[in-house]
């Protein structure tokens, strides 16, 4: 059953990614998100846009990664991910997230020729890092 759910999730990610095919590099993402962040009306910001579609797919992948981390923890299995942990706020608009990506991309031009997902991940790592783990308790004497 778990593999069926993973397959359905993967298909959903692929269909979402397919609708944002033009976004491959960080530069593509910054350019698309720059135009999306500039949209003034809320109604127009809800219309389909490549940046919004990319960010929706990216959010789904973050959720899947967090679910896998929790599942591994509950089962007592190690979980490793090459991405740093991020803690998204309870609410953030896609336009706000788009603006953050644009600012981060403008400040880090060395990331613009890499994968778009990498730029998005690095933006979130900077803006929404997980709190550090608590220090280990001293051993009783």
Q: Which residues pair with 111 in a beta bridge?
A: none
- Tell me what pLDDT residue 41 has: 80
Average pLDDT over residues 2-7: 41
14 has pLDDT over 60: no
Tens digit of each residue's pLDDT (9 = 90 or more) over 76-94: 777 666 777 888 888 999 9
- Tell me what pLDDT residue 118 has: 95
Q: What pTM did the predictor assign?
A: 0.74
Q: How confident is the model at residue 13 (pLDDT cuts 50, 70, 90)?
A: very low
Torsion 68-131-26-39 (CA) sign: positive
Is residue 29 a contact partner of residue 114, using CB atoms and an 8 Å limit?
no
106 has pLDDT over 90: yes
Q: Taking phi first (over 0 means left), then psi (-120 to 50 degrees means alpha), and beta for anything else, what does residue 76 get?
A: left
98 has pLDDT over 90: yes
Alpha carbons 33 and 36: distance in angstroms, whole number:
5
Tens digit of each residue's pLDDT (9 = 90 or more) over 49-64: 999 999 999 999 988 8
The length of the chain in residues reads 141
From the DSSP assignment, how many helices (H) and strands (E) are in the chain?
A: 6, 0
Is residue 26 a contact partner of residue 8, using CB atoms and an 8 Å limit?
no
- In this prediction, what percent of the chain has a pLDDT beyond 90? 46
Residue-wise burial string across 38-66, b where 16 or more C-beta atoms lie within 10 A, e elsewhere: ebeeeeebeeebbbbbbbebbbebbebee
């Amino acid at each position: 059953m778990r593999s069926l759910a993973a397959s359905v999730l993967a298909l959903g990610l692929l269909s979402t990614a397919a609708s944002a095919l033009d976004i491959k590099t960080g530069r593509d993402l910054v350019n698309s998100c720059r135009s999306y962040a500039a949209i003034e009306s809320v109604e127009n910001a809800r219309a389909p846009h490549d940046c919004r579609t990319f960010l929706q797919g990216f959010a789904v992948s973050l959720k899947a990664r967090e679910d896998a981390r929790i599942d591994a923890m509950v089962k007592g299995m190690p979980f490793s991910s090459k991405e740093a942990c991020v803690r998204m706020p309870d609410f953030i608009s896609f336009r706000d997230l788009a603006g953050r990506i644009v600012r981060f991309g403008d400040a880090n031009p060395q990331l613009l020729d890499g994968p778009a997902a990498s730029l998005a991940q690095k933006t979130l790592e900077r803006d929404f890092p997980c709190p550090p783990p608590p220090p280990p308790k001293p051993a009783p004497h």
